[in-house]
Amino acid sequence: MQDLDTELYLEALDQERERHPELASFIDDGWIAEVLHVVKSGKEATVLCCKAGSRVESRCVAAKIYRSRNNRVFRNDAVYQEGRVVLDRRARRAYEKKSRAGRQVQEGGWIYHEWDALKLLHAAGADVPAPFTQAGNVLLMEYVGEPDDPATPLYKVSLQAGEAHELFHTVMRNIKLYLAHDRIHSDLSAYNILYWEGRLKIIDFPQAVDPRSNPNALALLQRDVENVCAYFAKWGVQSDPHRITRGLWGRFLRGAL
């Protein structure tokens, strides 16, 4: 027989399933116990802070729920999509025809890209949230911060004297590590870097490109580096984004990262 605590717990899970049907499978599988609150409803996704389920060791899980395509302001796809291999022939035809199925393929593509990049880069030792699982339009990952005190995007942070240099080098180490693993973030700025207790986590990878196949790779790398340099210049870090980009790109081409 189940004890009262277990019964109450299971009842609470049932209620959560009803309140958040899009998360039901993650509740069933023990990833999520309860949705606590919305961290942010962004351009392309809503991020929820959830109490972790029994299979997760940390207290919380972040659930990033992508909007359906019709409801979202979509980025300029082509720049990021060029050079991507689009699934099988049927999926490719649907994508090219921009049919409903094609849009689903494409939408699956963005979230899958984020999941794929997070897995690869987290395993490589990058400062990104640990990815837990992905299905449909939902991606679950490590939650950065405390439940009632989420990590702050870097653009809102006043850095302490001396801290800026170290954090600048952390971001540059990440950019280089991504490139060494054939990825460029491609939307990197102080908006997509979270700050928590003096440390950084870089987020938001759906548009990450593969520099081996994307013809816009160098321009995207340059923009990422410029954004980061411009933010840190405000905190007294002098840098030359063109030189940094040239150096990184040259080493990438020589296979010397």
Residues that bind Mg ion (CB under 5 A): 192, 204
**189 versus 248: smaller Cβ distance to ligand ATP:** 189
Strands across the sheet with 131-135, in order?
A: 32-41, 45-52, 60-66, 138-142, 131-135
What tokens appear for 180 in the block? Answer: 């060494």
Cα-to-chain-centroid distance, residue 247: 26
- The residue whose Cβ lies closest to Mg ion is 204
Instruction: Supply the minimum distance, in Å, between the C-beta of residue 215 and ligand ATP.
Output: 24
Which of the choices Mg ion, ligand ATP, none does residue 40 contact, using the CB cut-off of 5 to 8 A by kind?
ligand ATP
* Chain residues in the site for ligand ATP (CB under 6 A): 39-40, 42-45, 47, 62, 64, 129, 141-145, 150-151, 153, 191-192, 203-204
CA-angle at 187, arms to 227 and 223, nearest 5°: 40
Q: At what angle do helices 89-97 and 100-123 cross, to 10 degrees?
A: 120
**53 versus 206: smaller Cβ distance to Mg ion:** 206
Instruction: Supply the minimum distance, in Å, between the C-beta of residue 115 and Mg ion.
Output: 16
- Written as one letter, the residue type at 197 is E
Task: Render 36-74 in DSSP notation, one character per residue.
Answer: EEEEEE-SSEEEEEEEE-TT-SSSEEEEEEEPPGGGS--
- Written as one letter, the residue type at 186 is S
**141 versus 220: smaller Cβ distance to ligand ATP:** 141
Q: Establish how many alpha carbons lie within 13 A of residue 218's alpha carbon, considering only the half-sphere containing its beta carbon.
A: 10
**13 versus 63: smaller Cβ distance to Mg ion:** 63
Instruction: Supply the minimum distance, in Å, between the C-beta of residue 103 and ligand ATP.
Output: 18
Instruction: Supply the minimum distance, in Å, between the C-beta of residue 2 and ligand ATP.
Output: 33
What tokens appear for 91 in the block? Answer: 């999926």
Answer yes or no: are the C-beta atoms of 168 and 138 closer than 8 Å: no
- The residue whose Cβ lies closest to ligand ATP is 42
**5 versus 149: smaller Cβ distance to ligand ATP:** 149
Which of the choices ligand ATP, Mg ion, none does residue 108 contact, using the CB cut-off of 5 to 8 A by kind?
none
- Written as one letter, the residue type at 105 is V
**191 versus 235: smaller Cβ distance to ligand ATP:** 191
Instruction: Supply the minimum distance, in Å, between the C-beta of residue 205 and ligand ATP.
Output: 8
78: three-class secondary structure by DSSP: helix
Instruction: Supply the minimum distance, in Å, between the C-beta of residue 132 and Mg ion.
Output: 19
Which of the choices ligand ATP, Mg ion, none does residue 16 contact, using the CB cut-off of 5 to 8 A by kind?
none
CA distances to 23, 39, 56, 136 from 17, rounded to whole Å, are: 7, 20, 18, 16
